[in-house]
Every structure is written in structure tokens, then in C-alpha cells.
Chains A and B, each alone.
Chain A
Amino acid sequence: MKAYLGRRYRFSASHRLHSDAFSEEKNREVYGKCNNPFGHGHNYVVDVLLSGQVNGRGMVCDLAELDEFAQREIVERFDVANLNLDSAFENRVPTTENLCKEVFRVFRDGFSEAHLERVRVEETQNNYFEYAG
């Protein structure tokens, strides 16, 4: 039987929203406070939804394996880090939209124990972003 498994992970990171394609004035206009040259931070929550046939142990996938993967590939990479310095954001603005797509890519390419349905990233309690490929 097909079921879905959702798991949430947390990390805190800083970023600055700024595009080299815009002038300084345009950056301030588009990104507002988020364009502060010194950056700012968030407590991000990643909500990963996987699906698959429930196995003989009653599980979509092994939770310990999923946690280990997420800890290694997501939490250790992004926790207490500056997103602007991450290789994924060399040429992309580290908006939560782009972060969501990057987290999706990491799970899609690296975790094959279950089907990846979607990734949700909460930037604050009041805004979140989803990507399903």
C-alpha cells in the first residue's frame, strides 16, 4: 500500500538577498531590508515528503537512514552557515525559493530509498515555499 512519510529538519543560517543584475538602488527596492549588506538570518525548517509502498516493517523507508542522510547533506551543510557562500548560490540569489529547489535536488539525487514527493522550506513561521520538481 502506498503511504507518505513526512519529516522535518531544522537549521539556522544567514543570507543576504542581492542580485548583481540589479543596480544598488534596484536591489534595495526589490529586496528591501533583506538587502542589508551585513545579512540577516532565519531558523529554517525543511519538511520533506516521501512516498512508497509500506514494507514488511510497516515503513515507507528506514527513518534512521533518512535522518542520517538529511543530517549529513542538509543540516551539516547549512546549519550556522552563510547561504551566500554556499556553492549552490554562487550564481543564484539565496531566496528560500532557490534554497527549496536546492534541498529538493539534494534529496532527489542522493536519497533513493523512497520517492521524493515535495520539499517545503519554512523561512519563518509565516512564510514557506514548496517545490515538487
Chain B
Amino acid sequence: MVLLTRRTEFSASHFYYDEKLSEAENVRLFGKCANRNGHGHNYTLEVTVAGAVDPVSGFVVDLKRLKDVIEREVVSVYDHRHLNLELPEFKTAMPTTENIAIAIWRRLENKIENAELTRVRVYEMPDLYAEYRGEA
């Protein structure tokens, strides 16, 4: 079993606001991120898959095909979008880095041939990242 990680980037805007709470409570919990005009990040996405090395090609997966799946399922949907306003997964869930990692996992799950999705890591900025590994 070998792990393979593909890194890619997308830029998107979001905000954190819980409609069930007051404006003051939202500001207390989320600070500047509660501004409903939104703000943006250059996200870095790392997708890790695991699989056996094909004895002929020497690949776990064809990197080009993995890249295409990530582009089709995630980047084309998230890049230059407002996550709160345009993505169905964030109609009810807050687009935190944790929830973005979980949502991307769900978008990629069962879409990658010949390898098992093992980790989705999302960097909101170089010093802050979240991971989901498919655990309950």
C-alpha cells in the first residue's frame, strides 16, 4: 500500500453566522468572521489516496485522472464561489474548515478508481488546516 497526495488550490468566500443566535452572540462567537458580507481565502486542498502499486504502470492511480476528478468534483464547484450562498452543503452547516474537509470528502468518496480515499486536508491559510479521514 502506498499513499499518494495531490495538492490543488481554490479561492472562495464565506462567513460564519448562526441564524438561531443574536447578532451580538454571533460576533462574540465568530468575531470578524460573522460579517455577512463575507470574506475570502485562498484554500489549499490536499487529497490523499492509498492503493497498491500497479506492477506494470508503477502507479497507485493515474495522477492525471485523480487531478481530473478533483477538478470536476471540487475545484470547478468551489473556486470563485461564495460557499454560504452557492453550495448546497453549506445551506445549513457552517462552512468552517472542518466542514469543508468533510464536504469535500463526500464529494470525492467512491469517485476515485483503483484507490481508497484516506484523507482530505484543507488549509484555510498556511497556519490553519483541518482534516477528515472518513471517521464517524
Contact = CB atoms under 8 A, between A and B. Distances in A.
Contacts of B114: none
Contact of B131 (A3, A8, A57, A59): A3
Contacts, number: 57
Contacts of A5: 97-98, 129-131
Contact of B101 (A3, A9, A57, A64): A3
Nearest to A55: B98
A21 interface: no
Interface string A35-65: 0000000000000010000100111100110
A4 interface: yes
B94 A58 contact: yes
B133 interface: yes
B18 interface: yes
Nearest to A63: B128
A4 B131 contact: yes
A60 B129 CA distance: 11
B130 A60 contact: yes
Contact of A6 (B29, B95, B129): B129
A17 B126 CA distance: 30
Contacts of A57: 16, 18, 29, 94, 96
B130 A6 contact: yes
A120 to B, nearest CB: 12
A1 to B, nearest CB: 6
Contact of A1 (B18, B31, B127, B132): B132
Contacts of B133: 2, 4
Interface of B: 16, 18, 29, 31, 93-99, 101-102, 121, 126-133, 135-136
